[in-house]
Chain A
């Protein structure tokens, strides 16, 4: 079965540094998502992306976050100036564009971000 991949699996950074988390969605999917899971807490929606623009975003997704599809295969999440509270597992997901199957999101294995 096709799968979503994410790199790196673990990223350690200093507070204030910029990080880019990378995702390769399933090739025929057109909707892309980022979620995060702070240790011990629930998975939270950050943003969805379709047709080269943000479709929806949560209140967590503030100006320090941005997403991009720089080429035909990658989908990235950039955190401009990391804070300690950005430490979390970040999950990428993708889905088809059909309104019914769009809700079937396929998740990647996650990138664990540690901000020191």
Chain B
């Protein structure tokens, strides 16, 4: 069965520092991969997605993610974190023609001034 692992429950970075949030998936084929962000009291907002093609995908708010098939990973990065990036980040796996999207447990990002 497909699964998504986010190894880091909580990450704290200083404002202006770089960020990398890890995501590993388990699935027999190449799934669709997503990163969502959830601010307190808010719904889930799509940051970026990977379906095929270029393995480095650009998203909104300056985020990017790289799909590495050999490592079954889809890590989210940002070169310089802003205080407004503090939120919960979810990696998710979806399948073509399947509506059952699976989410990781989430990584909570705290940004220090």
Contacts and interface: CB of A to CB of B under 8 A. Distances in A.
Contact of B100 (A6, A48, A100): A48
B17 interface: no
Interface in A84-107: 91, 93, 99-100, 102-107
Q: Count chain A CB atoms within 10 A of each CB in B44, B45, B46 and give the residue with the most.
A: B44
Interface residues of B, number: 25
Interface of chain B, main secondary structure = strand
Interface residues of A, number: 28
12 contacts: A35-B101, A35-B103, A42-B103, A42-B104, A43-B44, A43-B92, A44-B103, A45-B101, A48-B100, A91-B43, A106-B46, A107-B44
Given A42-B106, A103-B34, 18 more contacts: A4-B43, A35-B101, A42-B105, A43-B92, A43-B103, A45-B99, A48-B99, A56-B98, A56-B100, A99-B96, A99-B97, A100-B51, A103-B49, A103-B51, A106-B46, A107-B43, A109-B42, A110-B42
Interface of A: 4, 6, 31, 33, 35, 41-45, 48, 50, 55-56, 58, 91, 93, 99-100, 102-110
Interface of B: 32, 34, 36, 41-46, 49, 51, 90, 92, 94, 96-106
